[in-house]
Amino acid sequence: MSKYISTILLLIVCIANIACTEQSAQKTLRVGFNTWPGYEFIYLAKVKGMYRKHGLDVKLVELNALGDVRRSFERGQIDVMDPVNNSV
């Protein structure tokens, strides 16, 4: 459980870092990921308002497979991809 919490906190920090360095204007950050139970915390952070609390407008983009996530990231259709740790 602690590993998952650490992962989501790291994701929030990465998203905040990207949002702060690219533009100062509010932009919707598109986060892409595939279906995996470990990503429940990404949804939980959205539902609990953690992204908004830190000044982020996050759109969650769920795709069918990790390959789809990677292609979407390479094509610029999403801003951040969250792969499973062992597939990076």
How many structural domains compose the chain?
A: 1
Q: Could you report the per-residue pLDDT of 5-18, keeping only the tens digit for each?
A: 777 766 776 777 66
Per the prediction, the chain carries an average pLDDT of 79
Which has more pLDDT, 85 or 40? 40
User: Which range of residues forms the domain containing residue 31?
Assistant: 2-87
pLDDT value of position 27: 81
Strands (DSSP E) found in 1-88:
28-34, 57-63, 80-81
CATH value at residue 81 = 3.40.190
Query: How long a stretch of residues is the chain?
Result: 88
Give the Cα separation of 5 and 9 in Å (integer). Answer: 6
Q: Could you report the per-residue pLDDT of 26-43, keeping only the tens digit for each?
A: 588 999 988 888 888 888
Which has more pLDDT, 20 or 68? 68
* pLDDT value at 88 more than 70: no
pLDDT value of position 74: 92
Which has more pLDDT, 24 or 82? 82
